[in-house]
Structure 1
């Protein structure tokens, strides 16, 4: 097992690119780290330079780690290697609360087995579709020039309203997380006459689009479609991956992204699980 340095992360990015879209979340993290975006993670692989398994875990030497929910992200083409890293090699700390996000569902039986053997409980957060966009030409044109003129970026004064409306927000850690994303990653919003956001979309620190929301009194005006189009074109023009995770229960968002040209690999599903 090896922790990658900055030069090795650049090589890992190329390797993970060949495994898209299934590797897209770990690819997004590496992509961000290689472009100087602040992270509180360290990256482990089973072997180097050829690796089958890569794990992102909280960096114990980063002072920012304590400010956020402990998150683990992983990708593996060899489940037995992954099992070894999670058990005998102690790639993650099973004694603390943590979240494994965007995990291929095929690994869940193995994770449940390991968790049970250690007396650790598991709770599913959400099962999701992975939606990707490779060709931005499928995106619609912005609806009106007036609407286009109201598109801007989020700023720090908007954190509170986003934290209050986000399904997984509402506490101090989510507030800090949203603030971090607005400061360092792309975002788009549509504002009212008082320059307050009424509709918005952010990108997570692994570049997936997320937290898409429109205030109830402003729905049905094409705001979400405008923001998705703007954000996707911006990300694509800068070489970023263009994708999102949509909860299986959110049929409205799934239909919206699908109609805008986003596609999914029907053989792949990802899930979020909390361990404590």
Structure 2
């Protein structure tokens, strides 16, 4: 097992690029690190340079202020992943943590390993991984000049509003996480006549679009579509990966992203697994 340094992270990014879309989460996270985005995670592999498993885990040498209990991974070898989780010191099983966007085909194996360690677990809802290979299929930007004039990035004065309305927000840790995302990653919102956001979208620290929300009284006006269209064009122009996770029961968001040219690998589903809670 090896912890990757800065130069090795650059190489790992190139390797993971060849394994999209299933490698998107780890690729997106390392893409951010390589562009000096703040992080409290470190990246380990089973072997180097020909790795089969890559894991992003909390770095014990850093102050863990946001997303402190998250683990991301990608594997080319399920047995090696099992070995690292079972035999290697790849994750700290004594702590509460979440494995984010794990391939559902690995869920039973990870549950088995956690049970062997007498660590409880629970699975959140399944999600689609949707991505946009290029922007050629995007519809033209909105011709509504008045709406265009109200599209801008979020700022720190908006943190509490986003935290209050986020499904997984409402607590201090989520507030710190949202503050980090607004400060360091692209975001986009539509404001009302008083300059307050009524619809918005952010980018997570693993470079996936997320936290898309429109206040109830402003829904049905095409705001979400205008925001996604706007931020996706910016991301493509700046070289970011463009992808998102959508819960299986969120048909409205799925159809929105599909209408904008996003596609998915129908054989792949992901979920979030919480352990030692």
Specify the TM-score bucket, using the shorter chain as the normaliser. Answer: over 0.9
TM-score by length of 1: 0.98
SS of 2:99's equivalent in the other structure is strand
Structure 2 Cα separation of the partners of residues 264 and 29 of structure 1? 19
> What does the per-residue CA deviation read over 1:54-108, in whole Å, with 9 as the maximum and x for residues that have no partner?
0000000001x15444000000010111111111112001111000001111111
Structure 2 Cα separation of the partners of residues 69 and 11 of structure 1? 25
In structure 1, the gaps of 5 or more residues are none
**What is the count of residue pairs matched by the alignment?**
275
**Native 8 Å contact 1:41 1:58 kept in 2:** yes
* 2:79 aligned residue: 80
SS of 1:56's equivalent in the other structure is strand
SS of 1:240's equivalent in the other structure is coil
**Native 8 Å contact 2:189 2:201 kept in 1:** yes
Structure 2 Cα separation of the partners of residues 270 and 233 of structure 1? 26
> What does the per-residue CA deviation read over 1:144-203, in whole Å, with 9 as the maximum and x for residues that have no partner?
111111100000000001001000000000000000000000000000111100000000
**Native 8 Å contact 1:131 1:263 kept in 2:** yes
Once the 2 structures are TM-superposed, how far is the Cα of residue 139 of structure 1 from its aligned partner? Answer: 1.2
Tell me which stretches of 4 or more aligned residues in structure 1 moved more than 3 Å. Answer: 66-69
Structure 1 Cα separation of the partners of residues 62 and 16 of structure 2? 25
Once the 2 structures are TM-superposed, how far is the Cα of residue 135 of structure 1 from its aligned partner? Answer: 2.0
Once the 2 structures are TM-superposed, how far is the Cα of residue 118 of structure 1 from its aligned partner? Answer: 1.0
* 2:162 aligned residue: 162
* 1:22 aligned residue: 22
Structure 2 Cα separation of the partners of residues 37 and 66 of structure 1? 15
TM-score by length of 2: 0.98
In structure 2, the gaps of 5 or more residues are none
SS of 1:93's equivalent in the other structure is coil
**Native 8 Å contact 1:53 1:74 kept in 2:** yes
Structure 2 Cα separation of the partners of residues 218 and 205 of structure 1? 28
More off after superposition, 170-179 vs 79-88 = 79-88
Q: How does 1:106-185 map to 2 (within 5 A)?
A: 106-143=105-142, 144-185=144-185
**Native 8 Å contact 2:58 2:68 kept in 1:** no
**Native 8 Å contact 2:44 2:56 kept in 1:** yes
SS of 1:126's equivalent in the other structure is coil
**Native 8 Å contact 2:65 2:173 kept in 1:** no
Once the 2 structures are TM-superposed, how far is the Cα of residue 258 of structure 1 from its aligned partner? Answer: 0.6
Structure 1 Cα separation of the partners of residues 265 and 93 of structure 2? 31
**Native 8 Å contact 1:158 1:197 kept in 2:** yes
Structure 1 Cα separation of the partners of residues 136 and 194 of structure 2? 33
**Native 8 Å contact 1:187 1:203 kept in 2:** yes
* 1:105 aligned residue: 104
Structure 2 Cα separation of the partners of residues 226 and 180 of structure 1? 24
Matched, 1:267 2:267: yes
* 2:69 aligned residue: 70
Once the 2 structures are TM-superposed, how far is the Cα of residue 142 of structure 1 from its aligned partner? Answer: 2.5
> What does the per-residue CA deviation read over 1:2-49, in whole Å, with 9 as the maximum and x for residues that have no partner?
000000000000000000011000000110000000100000000100
